[in-house]
Structure 1
Amino acid sequence: MTNQNPEQEPVIDPAAFEGRFASTGEVAEAAAEDSAAASAADGTAAEDVLADAISAELAERTSDLQRLTAEYANYRRRVERDRKATIDNAKAQVVGELLAVLDDLDRARAHGDLESGPLKGVADKLVTALEKQGLVEFGSEGEPFDPTLHEAVQHEGSGHDPVIGMVMRKGYRFGERVLRHALVGVTDGVADLAADSGAAQADSTNAGTDAAGAE
C-alpha cells in the first residue's frame, strides 16, 4: 500500500509560461518600434523647421540683393546723367564764347568778304564743327514769331499773326538749351496782310457805292 503525502508540492509545467514570455517580448518590440517611429517623426519635424528657416533666409537675402541691384542701377544712371550734364554745360560755355566770332563772320559774309579766299574755308570749317557739336541757329525772315526764342525790338501791323520781318541778330540753340535769343522785328503774316488788303478793298468799294448813290 502506497502512502500519499497530502503536502506534496504541485508540479509546474513550463509550457504554461511560454505564451506569457512571448507576449512580453512582443510588447517590448512594439515599444521599440513606437519609440523609433516617434524619433523619426521628431527628426522629420526638425528637418521641416530647418528647411523653412533656410527658405526664409534665402528669400530675405534674395530681396536684399534685388534691392541693392536696383539701387546700383539707379546710381549708375544718376552718375551718367550728371556726367552728361557736366559735359553739355562745358560745351555750351565754350560754344557761347564763340557766338561773337560767328557774328563777325556773318557781317563779313554780308559784305561779301567770304565769297572766296582762305577766310571762307576757315569760316565754313568753324560753322560745320559747331553744328556737329549740336549748335543750331534760328531766326530768319518769314518764321512765326516765338517769344520763347525771339526778342522783338520792333513791331509793325496789328500783330494777329506775327512773323519775323527783319533779323537784327541771329539766335542760337545748343541741344535743348537756348544760348541766345534772336533780335527781330515783327510784322503781320501773309494771312493778316491779305485780310487787311481785303478789308481796305471792301471799304473802298463801299465808299464808291455810297458816292454813286449820293449823285
Structure 2
Amino acid sequence: MTEQTTSEVVEPVEEVNDAVEAAPDQETDPVAVLTADLQRLQAEYANYRKRVERDRALAHELAIGGVLTELLATLDDIARATEHGELTGGFKSVADQIAAVTTRLGLEKYGTAGEEFDPQIHEALLHDTSADVKVPTATKILQPGYKFKERILRPARVAVTDPAETPAE
C-alpha cells in the first residue's frame, strides 16, 4: 500500500515538472505550483478516506447479513414452535430475546397472503389458477422471507394463484 501512495505522490509532481519544462517561456511561480500539488494531494487523500469508510460500512453490513442468514433456520424453528404452542417458560423468553436482537439489527420479516406475486422477493413453490384473482397473487405463505436493509436474505416461499383464463368466444 505504501508503494501506491508513493507513486501517487510522485506522479503529480512529475506532471508539474513536465509542464514547467514544456513551457520555458512562461514564468511559473513555484509557490503556485506547490500549492496546486498540495491541493491535488489533499483531494486524493479525501477521496481515499471516503472510499475506505464506504468499504468499511459495506463490510460491516455484509458481516451482519451473514450472521442473520445463519439465524434464519433458528427463527423458523421458533415460529413453528410458537404455532404449535410448544414455546413456553424459559424458552419463550430466549425466543423473545432472539427476536428482539434480530429486529434491533434490522432484520425484517415479509410476506403476507393476498399480496401481488413479485418474483424479485417471492419464490413460487406451488401454482394454481382461480377466477377470484385478477393478477398473479401469493395466496399462501409457505415460508416467510427476510431482508436486511434493502438486501433480500431469503425470498418468501409462496403458493401462487394466477387468474383463470376465460376461453375466447
* Aligned residue runs from structure 1 range 17-96, under 5 A: 56-96=29-69
So what's the TM-score if we normalise by structure 2? 0.73
Other-structure match for 2:123: 151
2:110 to 125, 132, 138: 138
Aligned: 1:102 with 2:71: no
Aligned: 1:180 with 2:154: yes
In 2: Cα distance, 1:122 partner to 1:77 partner: 40
- Higher helix proportion, which one? 1
| Unaligned segments of structure 1, at least 5 residues | 1-51, 200-215
Q: Count residues with an aligned counterpart.
A: 139
1:123 to 83, 89, 95: 95
Other-structure match for 2:135: 161
Residue 118 of structure 1: how far off its partner (Å): 2.3
Between structure 1 and structure 2, the one with the greater Rg is 1
| Unaligned segments of structure 2, at least 5 residues | 1-25
- Higher strand proportion, which one? 2
Residue 132 of structure 1: how far off its partner (Å): 1.1
In 2: Cα distance, 1:149 partner to 1:128 partner: 24
SS at match of 1:157: strand
Residue 166 of structure 1: how far off its partner (Å): 0.6
Task: Give % identity.
Answer: 47
In 2: Cα distance, 1:169 partner to 1:186 partner: 13
Pairwise CA RMSD? 2.3
Counterpart of 2:138 in structure 1: which amino acid?
Answer: I
Determine which structure has greater relative contact order: mean sequence separation of CA pairs < 8 Å that are 6+ residues apart, divided by chain length: 2
Residue 124 of structure 1: how far off its partner (Å): 1.5
SS at match of 2:44: helix
Residue 160 of structure 1: how far off its partner (Å): 5.0
Counterpart of 2:77 in structure 1: which amino acid?
Answer: D
In 2: Cα distance, 1:143 partner to 1:167 partner: 10
